[in-house]
């Protein structure tokens, strides 16, 4: 504002000088000036002042226009930069919020997966203890019903996790596919043990005193062996945990602050 006032005052002063010179020139010219007379010298001086005033005004206007254009260009650049930064901040906020939601789903899936795994391990340990922990062990109906009932709950929970991956609950296709494969493998392995129970329960019930040999229940027997449990459950748990932890540790990719938004 102060610079603007100075410019206005300068222009007014130039106009005043030009006007005064024009008045003097008119007065001197009206006296038919001749060489070495007051009118002649006044006319010459007035024309010189007028020339300086005119060319000075042109130079001043050109300088003012040039500086004003630079000022306006700088303001426009600042405005565009501010808009880009605001757009960048909005993008970062959106990406951060989305990442927070994904991380929460990853943590929830990880906690649920590990809790289910530990419960399945506990059921398996009880079954091994109750069947003599050997290939020739037997299982009675009450034990069979109780443990398979507990195992059925865990199998359904793994099925729920599988459906979450199928329904894109984890945001990234490659991660969802890896998790889906792991949950499918575990859910399928446990499901085979439960399906076997549905067909073999009557055979176990027919041996109330001694129970049925575990070897007559191949899916259950596979679950109770170290190799079978690792292939059907624990190896897939390791893969699932690795995928989720890598997703949680992956840094958030932010857009370039200088780039235009989408």
Q: For position 55, what pLDDT does the model report?
A: 67
Stronger pLDDT, 187 or 60, i.e. the higher one:
187
Q: For position 262, what pLDDT does the model report?
A: 47
Domain boundaries, the chain: 2-67, 91-249
Q: What percent of the chain has pLDDT over 90?
A: 48
Q: For position 50, what pLDDT does the model report?
A: 63
Q: For position 222, what pLDDT does the model report?
A: 94
How many angstroms separate the first and last alpha carbons of the chain?
A: 38
Distances (CA, A) of 173 to 91, 104, 168, 200, 245: 22, 17, 7, 40, 16
Q: For position 140, what pLDDT does the model report?
A: 94
Q: Determine the Cα–Cα distance for residues 146 and 149; give it in Å rounded to an integer.
A: 5
Q: Determine the Cα–Cα distance for residues 182 and 233; give it in Å rounded to an integer.
A: 9
Asked if CATH classification 1.10.10 holds for the domain at 91-249, the reply, yes or no, is no
Lowest mean pLDDT among 86-95, 130-139, 228-237: 130-139
CB 43 within 8 A of CB 25: yes
Stronger pLDDT, 75 or 41, i.e. the higher one:
75
Residue 148 has pLDDT above 50, yes or no: yes
Q: For position 117, what pLDDT does the model report?
A: 98
User: pLDDT tens, 15-53?
Assistant: 666 666 566 556 655 656 666 566 566 666 766 766 666
Q: What is the mean pLDDT of the chain?
A: 84
User: pLDDT tens, 160-177?
Assistant: 999 999 988 887 889 999
């Amino acid at each position: 504002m102060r610079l603007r006032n100075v410019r206005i005052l300068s222009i007014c002063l130039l106009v005043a000088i030009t006007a005064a010179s024009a008045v003097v020139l008119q007065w001197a010219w009206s006296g038919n000036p001749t060489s070495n007379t007051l009118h002649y010298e006044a006319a010459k001086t007035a024309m010189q002042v007028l020339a300086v005033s005119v060319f000075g005004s042109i130079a001043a206007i050109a300088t003012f226009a040039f500086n004003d254009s630079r000022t306006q260009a700088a303001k426009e650049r600042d405005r565009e930069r501010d808009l880009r930064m605001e757009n960048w901040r909005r993008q970062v906020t959106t990406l951060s919020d989305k990442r927070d939601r994904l991380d929460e789903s990853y943590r929830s899936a990880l906690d649920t997966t590990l809790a289910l795994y530990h419960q399945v391990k506990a059921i398996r340990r009880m079954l091994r203890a109750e069947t003599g922990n050997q290939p020739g062990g037997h299982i009675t109906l009450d034990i069979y019903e109780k443990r398979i009932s507990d195992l059925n709950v865990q199998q359904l929970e793994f099925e729920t996790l599988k459906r979450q991956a199928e329904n894109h609950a984890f945001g990234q296709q490659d991660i969802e596919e890896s998790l889906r494969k792991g949950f499918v493998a575990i859910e399928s392995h446990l499901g085979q043990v439960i399906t076997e129970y549905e067909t073999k329960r009557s055979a176990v019930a027919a041996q109330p005193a001694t129970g049925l040999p575990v070897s007559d229940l191949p899916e259950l027997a596979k679950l109770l062996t170290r190799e079978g449990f690792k292939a059907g459950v624990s190896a897939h748990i390791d893969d699932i945990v690795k995928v989720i932890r890598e997703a949680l540790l992956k840094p958030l990719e932010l857009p370039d602050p200088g780039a235009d938004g989408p």
